[in-house]
A and B are shown apart, each in its own frame.
Chain A
Amino acid sequence: MAPAFILTVIFKYIPMYGVIIAFKDFSYSKGIWGSDWVGFKYFEKFLNAPNFEAIFMNTLKLSLYGLAFGFPVPIILALMLNQLRRQGVKKNVQLMLYAPNFISVVVIVGMVFIFLSPTGPINKLILLFTGHPVNFMSDPGYFRTVYIVSGIWQAAGWSSIIYVAALAGVDPELHNAATIDGANLLQRIRSIDLPTIKPVMAIVFILSAGGIMAIGFEKAFLMQTALNLPTSEILPTYVYKVGLKSGDYSYSAAIGLFNSIINVILLILVNFVVKKLNEGEGLY
């Protein structure tokens, strides 16, 4: 117990205390406590910054679109996998679909750069059809699409595990009875399989919606190029740049805190809404 608790205090709770530098003019010589209070100066600075709206909307759009497309795919995949009757085939298909989950984000982004480069394999195909190569990585218009599609490619299989397991619990007698009543497969999926996994869907949805503003810093950061910044600059990458690149600790901490607070509010809000829609079944 002790080691975990001490580590949590040092690396989680002390930084939470350290967050007060967002309200101070942090300087090394004075330390966290000794630095001068400046109140909401840095929050106002960020809210009035010319790039605030762009960065905020980028973060919101990237996550919302990511959730809108990334959430249903694993569910559909699980429903499809569930229809494979031969267990051996099912196991092998799952084995292959899960594999990309184990590839690191650096390698995934590296592969994205290789495949989508103006001379890469995808553009060779595009050339065949249209004659014009598309420069995906330097066109801000493609950033979100590339980010989300590669994300689904990597994670959809793995995310379907939890639904596949829930579907395994469906009583086959229900399906038999419905078949006798003349329901076809799609109707049975809609009225037997889907309701079975609904509670799992609710939990997964709350968790991912709560993390909406906490989208992966790493992938967006790696996918950034000088030219796609108009859409690829998001709050976490901006925090990193302001804080560790320019050394503006207090400003960066303020932006980070702003981001965390929106997260917590969203989590509470989504949990509340899902609870209402889901007959009182929420996460808490």
Chain B
Amino acid sequence: MNIKPTAMDRFILAVNRLLLACIVLVVLVPLIYVAVASFMEPTALLNKGISFHLKDYSVEGYKLILSNKAMVRGFLNALFYSGAFALITVAVSVCAGFPLSIDSFAGRKFFMTAFVFTMFFGGGLIPTFLVIKQLGMLDTVWAILIPGAVNVWNIILARTFFKGIPRELSEAAKVDGASELTIFLNIVLPLSKPIMFVLALYAFVGQWNSFFDAMIYLENTKLYPLQLVLRSILIQNQVSPEMLTDRAQAAELKRLSEIIKYASIVISSLPLLIMYPFFQKYFEKGVMVGSLK
């Protein structure tokens, strides 16, 4: 039964809709501004800002970005780091989450405590840095891929999911003589595609957007992921000389630096913003499963 809203309620609802519309605008306008600006002709952008004359539009910003070795290399590096990191994270989290989901597993309490403790207390930046250095991982891709692969949150996500799989399934298999390993490989894993997908998505996005580990562990610029290249362009205002190849003059640099910023923002954010609407329900699932203790 639905009760007809009173005049007062209808008024509140209308105000609510209006406010939400404003909020949506506040969220979207900066994004749209960047997208439009990235397609402007550099000089027009510098002198007039955003305009609505067709002749002020060009794809010069994108040409500059695509001809820039550091950007392209960073993009490919980020793709590799994110993909590999996602695979490793899923493998590690699932392998740890499964035993923790079995009540009869003897060390369950101990391991769980050992993992959860690290969520609240850690050695900190320098001691971690020293370990990585001691292991000879400085300036290698391993420093990016390995230390972050164990994420307690992910392990809890996986464990919570496994707990939701009816125990009868594995008990039936046990009666038929299957070992825990067979059960894991043949019954649990095939059922766990959704959670593995969620974990992989989160790991991919997290790695794609991160710059800190790369900043402290990598020196070789050839290994730099996209975000680190972006940092020098957007924040340190260093448009690398190779970006301007044969026309490296100061005036030219000033003319082009704005458009390069806008275009690089679009190029770097596009992969995620495009894939996100398709995977929205998986991302939301991650939030929800994680919130159940």
Contact = CB atoms under 8 A, between A and B. Distances in A.
Do A and B interact? yes
B16 A107 contact: no
Interface in A157-175: 157-158, 161-162, 165, 172
B124 A253 contact: yes
B288 A252 contact: no
A186 B10 CA distance: 11
Given A3-B92, A100-B31, A110-B234, A15 B123 contact: yes
Contact of B234 (A93, A107, A165): A107
A72 to B, nearest CB: 14
A98 interface: yes
Contacts of A4: 92-93, 95-96, 115, 150, 155
Given A7-B149, A264-B121, A84 B276 contact: no
Contacts of A143: none
Given A105-B209, A110-B235, A253-B126, A15 B17 contact: no
Contacts of B231: 106, 222
A176 B2 contact: yes
Interface residues of chain B: helix, strand, loop or mixed (majority): helix
A14 B131 CA distance: 7
A83 B13 contact: yes
Interface in B4-53: 5-6, 8-9, 12-13, 16-17, 19-20, 23-24, 26-28, 30-31, 33-34, 49-50
Given A15-B123, A222-B231, A80 B209 contact: no
Interface in A1-28: 1-5, 7-8, 10-19, 21
Contacts of B288: 161-162, 165
Contacts of B85: none
B124 A260 contact: yes
Interface string B127-152: 11111100100000000001101100
Given A4-B93, A80-B16, A180-B3, A12 B123 contact: yes
A26 to B, nearest CB: 8
Interface stretch (A51-59, A61-69, A113-121): A113-121
A153 interface: yes
Interface stretch (B64-72, B170-178, B242-250, B266-274): B266-274
Contacts of A217: 212
B3 A153 contact: no
A76 B203 CA distance: 29
A239 B124 contact: yes
A273 interface: no
Nearest to A4: B96
B96 A5 contact: yes
B123 to A, nearest CB: 3
B3 A176 contact: yes
A32 B191 CA distance: 46
A267 B117 CA distance: 13
B92 A7 contact: yes
Nearest to B229: A106
A106 B126 contact: no
Interface string A189-208: 00000000000100100000
Given A15-B128, A185-B13, A5 B24 contact: no
B24 A96 contact: yes
Interface in B91-115: 91-93, 95-96, 98-100, 111, 114-115
Contacts of A103: 209, 269, 272-273
Interface of A: 1-5, 7-8, 10-19, 21, 32, 77, 80-81, 83-84, 93, 95-100, 102-107, 109-111, 113-115, 121, 124, 153, 157-158, 161-162, 165, 172, 176, 179-180, 184-186, 200, 203, 210, 217-218, 222, 236, 239-240, 243-244, 249, 252-253, 256-257, 259-260, 263-264, 267
Interface of B: 1-3, 5-6, 8-9, 12-13, 16-17, 19-20, 23-24, 26-28, 30-31, 33-34, 49-50, 91-93, 95-96, 98-100, 111, 114-115, 118, 120-132, 135, 146-147, 149-150, 155, 205, 208-212, 216, 227, 230-231, 233-235, 258, 261-262, 265, 268-269, 272-273, 276-277, 280, 283-284, 287-288, 291
Closest 9 CB pairs of A and B: A15-B123, A110-B234, A18-B127, A256-B124, A4-B96, A104-B209, A15-B127, A12-B118, A15-B128
